[in-house]
Structure 1
Amino acid sequence: MSLTISKEKYAQIIKSQANRLGFDFCGIAKADFLEEEAPKLENWLNQNYHGEMAYLANHFDKRLDPRRLVDGAKTVVSLIYSYYPESKLPENTEDYKLAKYAYGKDYHFVIKDKLKSLLQSLQEEIGEINGRAFVDSAPVMERQWAQKAGLGWLGKNSLLLNRKMGSFFFLAELIIDLEVAPDHAMTQDYCGTCTKCIDACPTDAIIEPGVVNGAQCISYFTIELKESIPSEVKGKFENWIFGCDICQDVCPWNRFSKPHQEPEFNLHPELMAFSKKDWEEITQETFNKVFQKSALKRTKLEGLRRNISFVKK
């Protein structure tokens, strides 16, 4: 009995510390092989839905089993951190658009620091714990683990949806060698018959409910694709020049999105005043200054110019 109580106590400590660090939700799952996901992932890769994102085909076994990533792993701690902005860039038809997650400082740095603090605080309070922190940077099926941890369900756009805050959030994980009482997996699908995300996608990237052809997504074309954007999608980007939020913007569950409380994610002051002309005439100096710590650095200036040129009327 005492063992059960201690596992429950560990869960309480982890969730309390996660809350202290500003995470919106924290859920816990047993580190195990994702048996149901294996054939789905294999089929998705065989259909070449990952396009040129070759890294998604690497480490197939590690992607499905966290025990291959962390020796002695017993628990996957999944965390949600909101990035929904209070102040948004203009989203008129004529304005250039950025995915909201890219408004502020690159989330990899912000959340990785918080995860390190979380692991350190757990080690101080509980004792020796070995583990690793992950923020969209390793072969971890984060949405599936978040669902297993009870944080939400996978929507028709394949994103994790949470009933209290929609989908404008980052997912992160701590994989640790401590056995912790797990939460109940989310088995209910609250999308129902809604198909707004499927209907709204201008490039028809959502093949069927829950299956997205990543190589047909505007985010892929504007961020991951390094060569020329195919002419057949010309005129379909609706002025998105880095990422895309269309399937999230139309999702009814995002009416519950609440502005984040993370100063690092706030819009750069200069970005708020950017005109179309500023975007079209952006110099290396301005790019370096405004996007010094931004996710936009992934495209580099030449990639951003390519995207602007492609959507320019």
Structure 2
Amino acid sequence: MTNLSDKYAGIIKSQAKKLGFDFCGIAKAEFLEEEAPKLEQWLNQHYHGEMAYMANHFDKRLDPTKLVDGAKTVVSLIYNYYPSERLSEGPEDYKLAKYAYGQDYHFVIKDKLKRLLAVLQEKIGEFGGKAFVDSAPVMERQWAQKSGLGWLGKNSLLLNKQMGSFFFLAELIIDLEVSPDPPMVKDYCGTCTKCIDACPTEAIVKPGVVNGSHCISYFTIELKEQIPQEVKGKFDNWIFGCDICQDVCPWNRFSKAHKEPLFDPHPDLKQLRKKDWEEITAETFNKVFKKSAVKRTKFSGLLRNINFQ
């Protein structure tokens, strides 16, 4: 690698930090050879359930050069979303995944990525690239591990030694050659199986492999039909997403509150108690969740999830 590639790496990381990203790692854009058989097996076992999009673009998922012409580098970024306070989570309260407390992260982070790309083109010169936030066929956890940001835990999420797992991942795939970081090869989970033991629907079938179609997040967000009766009583009052495998993870004791005002909950959301959820109207839903990821499940889906508990 040239000194120029090192210089680019320094510029990318310092600008990412200025925009509020907690960590930035860099990897060479190449075919993810080790992941190909794992992904194929996961799909063959139908662990993606009704998420048909997971089976699409198999080649693009594994090869960033098929997403961005002439791609040379994948820049992986971490953005914290751990809240300063949890919404009321008494034994009777309904629960939302913490990532959905504030505004939809797709838009918040995509804006930051576009700003980062523009600043980098200003400082480095013209180069091509695209920004990705969990909406394109990019194996973001694998790229984050490849760029040294963490390792894949037994719950299949990326774990970072400094901040656990309550963060979003995002990527820039660019046609600029940048010095890569060494990958994270060590697994710091050791013999811990807290996430596997805690999952009420037994979605974690073996370390690092999640049957997505058995996950509470899948049932409450992705599944558009009726939730199967055999999982009734197992949701522990989660009505949008689930944080159980993250809440029990010892690495998340290092989580610190985010500094992103857009991720703070809507004031009305903080006031909702069990009875309010059960009597929620379409008007309240549209007001409280206007800019929220919770809109994905639609009002009818949220009612289904509440009534299923």
What TM-score, normalized to structure 2? 1.00
- Write the distance in 2 (CA, Å) between the matches of 1:264 and 1:285: 22
1:137-173 deviation line (CA, Å, top 9, x unaligned): 0000000000000000000000000000000000000
CA distance in structure 2 between the aligned counterparts of 1:91 and 1:270, rounded to whole angstroms: 16
1:87: Cα distance to partner? 1.6
2:187 aligned residue (183, 186, 189): 189
1:5-84 superposed matches below 5 A: 5-84=3-82
Aligned to 1:103: 101
Does the residue aligned with 1:271 lie in a helix, a strand or coil? Answer: helix
Q: What is the total number of aligned residue pairs between the two structures?
A: 309
What does the per-residue CA deviation read over 1:60-80, in whole Å, with 9 as the maximum and x for residues that have no partner? 000000000000000000000
Percent of paired sites with the same residue: 80
| Aligned equivalents of 1:215, 1:297: Cα separation in 2 | 21
**3-state SS of 2:170 partner:** strand
| Conserved? CA contact 1:112–1:135, under 8 Å | yes
- TM-aligned CA deviation for residue 306 of structure 1: 0.1
Partner secondary structure for residue 111 of structure 2:
helix
Q: Which amino acid aligns with 2:100?
A: A
Alignment partners' CA distance in 2, 1:292 and 1:88: 20
SS state of the match for residue 2, structure 2? helix
Displacement of 1:133: 0.3
Q: CA deviation at 1:91?
A: 1.5
In 2, Cα distance between equivalents of 1:129 and 1:192:
42
In 2, distance between residues paired with 1:62 and 1:290?
Answer: 36
Alignment partner for residue 300 of structure 1, among 289, 298, 301?
298
- What's the CA shift for 1:93? 1.4
CA displacement, residues 78-132 of structure 1 (integer Å, 9 cap, x when unaligned): 0000000002111221100000000000000000000000000000000011000
Q: 1:179 aligns to what?
A: 177
- The one-letter code matched in structure 1 to 2:261 is P
Is 2:277 the partner of 1:279? yes
Contact 1:50–1:215, Cα closer than 8 Å, also in 2: yes
> What is the one-letter code of the residue matched to 2:17?
N
Select the residue among 111, 117, 120 that pairs with 2:118. Answer: 120
Q: Is the 8 A contact 1:87 1:267 kept in 2?
A: no
Q: Distance in 1 between matches of 2:160 and 2:273?
A: 34
Counterpart AA for 1:281 = E
1:11-61 superposed Cα distances (whole Å, 9 cap, x missing partner): 000000000000000000000000000000000000000000000000000
CA-based RMSD: 0.5
The CA deviation string for residues 270-292 of structure 1, in whole angstroms up to 9 with x for no partner, is: 11110111101111111111000
Which residue does 2:92 correspond to in 1?
A: 94
Please give the secondary structure, in 2, of the residue aligned with 1:133: strand
Deviation of 1:208 after TM superposition, in Å, equals: 0.1
Match of 1:310 in 2: 308
Rounded Cα–Cα distance in structure 1 between residues aligned with 2:127 and 2:268: 43
Offset of residue 4 of structure 1: 1.3
Report the residue type matching 1:295 in the other structure.
Answer: A
1:267 CA displacement: 1.0
Tell me the residue number matched to 2:244: 246
Amino acid at match of 1:149: S
SS of 2:92's equivalent in the other structure is coil
The AA in structure 2 aligned to 1:187 is V
User: d(CA) in 2 for partners of 1:80 and 1:224?
Assistant: 24
The separation in 2 between residues aligned to 1:93 and 1:141, in whole angstroms, is 36
Contact 1:205 1:213 in 2 (8 A): yes
* CA–CA separation in structure 1 for the residues paired with 2:34 and 2:277: 45
The residue type equivalent to 1:4 in the other structure is T
Q: Spell out structure 1 runs of 4+ moving beyond 2 A.
A: none
Work out the CA distance in 2 between the residues paired with 1:283 and 1:308: 13
Q: Is the 8 A contact 1:150 1:184 kept in 2?
A: yes
Residue of structure 1 in register with 2:222 after alignment: 224
- The code of the aligned residue for 1:190 comes to Y
Q: Measure the CA separation in 1 of the matches of 2:91 and 2:235.
A: 11
